[in-house]
Amino acid sequence: MASCIGLLILQVGLWRVFELAPQLQAAADVPVPQTSLTVVIPAYNEAGNIGACLASVLNGQPPCVDWEVLVVDDDSTDSTAELAVACAARHPQSTAGFSVLPAGPRPASERWVGKNWACTRAMEQVRSDWVLFIDADVQLQADAIRRSLAQAIADQADLLSLAPRLTCDCLAEWMVQPIMASLLGLGFPIEAANDPDSDVAFAAGPFMLFRRSVYERIGGHRALAAEVVEDLALARRIKTGGHRLRYLLGLDAVDLRMYADLAALWEGWTKNWCLGLDRDPGKALAAAGVVVLMFSLPWLLIPVAIGLLLVLPIAQWWWLALLAAASIAVLQQLILRLWTRREFQLPIDYWWLMGAGGLIVGTIGPVSVWRTFTGQGWTWKGRSLR
């Protein structure tokens, strides 16, 4: 019964959040803005992603009269830089300028984590009015940047960030990512993030469009060198500085595939889970437990209830009630995935593995707490975050 109640609260909460959530506006037939933009793509060992990401940018509609694309090779040990150059050569028709910047090794006497170093190095040569940071595992629709820039200008935004559509290709993603998408949608209310009077600040790191003058005013990535979840920190700096934050649904504009396999997914979520819950171990463990309760327990109870019906006929009504409650919870999970398909365009493939996904998330919680507070095994793409 607790699983049913939890899933009902999740479904109602998500429905309310997304009914009120602002979305990226459709393309308008307006002149190209007389402004300038630099698209920065920080990339560390992104040989498997950089080609598709860069092609989606270069194939896009010109967002303004003056724009360029800058790939920052964050001291990769693979062929990221070479593949980026080759990709650009295959798109000579693009109106964007293009260059690759070697970020170079990080200062040995300073602590730099994540993509903060690469983004900071990029800003040493960015002079445009606007700067868009996107991750290398993102693919954009042809009008994504143009629509975003037009809306940022119209809304007088200092930071415009888009919630992307998650895509899944490996089994681990199908088990975990739909659950995570639901939790993120409920845990970070979009309506509150867009309210200047609310303390809630949120932005999605894969797509962050800044007014450059304001970005520099808040200190940019350089001021957050040691910040692991830099997108939230930047959003907070925008809001606390009295600047305008716009966080919108961009499900028809931005596609994000976060993890290539279970190992990458495990590293990524154990890095972020505890930090995303205010670095509070109590919250992190409780949230992981709730996920197991809602998504895994019903699948575990169904065979137990059936077995009890077969071997312990006494008080069958009790076992029948248990079986009914577990079955209703499983049906609620299917309904949730159907809703997710409608809102996020995420297919319902492998929905019946959500129970296994819940167990993975339930394990991610305590491991994330351990890694966050001890630093042991706490990495980003193999780089230590200690």
Per-residue pLDDT tens digits for 340-349: 888 777 888 8
Residue 21 has pLDDT above 80, yes or no: yes
**Alpha helices, DSSP H only, in 90-170?**
116-123, 144-154
With a CB cutoff of 8 Å and minimum separation 6, the contacts of 27 are: 143, 146, 147, 150
Residue 208 has pLDDT above 90, yes or no: yes
Span 36-164+204-257: which CATH code?
3.90.550.10
Across 3-12, 42-51, 144-153, 172-181, least confident range: 3-12
Per-residue pLDDT tens digits for 112-126: 999 999 999 999 999
In this prediction, residue 185 carries a pLDDT of 78
Residue ranges per structural domain of the chain = 36-164+204-257, 263-376
Report the percentage of the chain scoring pLDDT > 90.
66
Residue 243 has pLDDT above 90, yes or no: yes
Strand order in the sheet with 130-134: 97-102, 66-73, 36-43, 130-134, 207-211, 159-163, 245-249
Residue 315 has pLDDT above 70, yes or no: no
Residue 31 has pLDDT above 80, yes or no: no
| Helices vs strands, H then E, count in the chain | 14, 12
Which string of DSSP letters, residue by residue, matches 271-313? Answer: HHHHHHTTT-HHHHHHHHHHHIIIIIHHHHHHHHHHHHHHH--
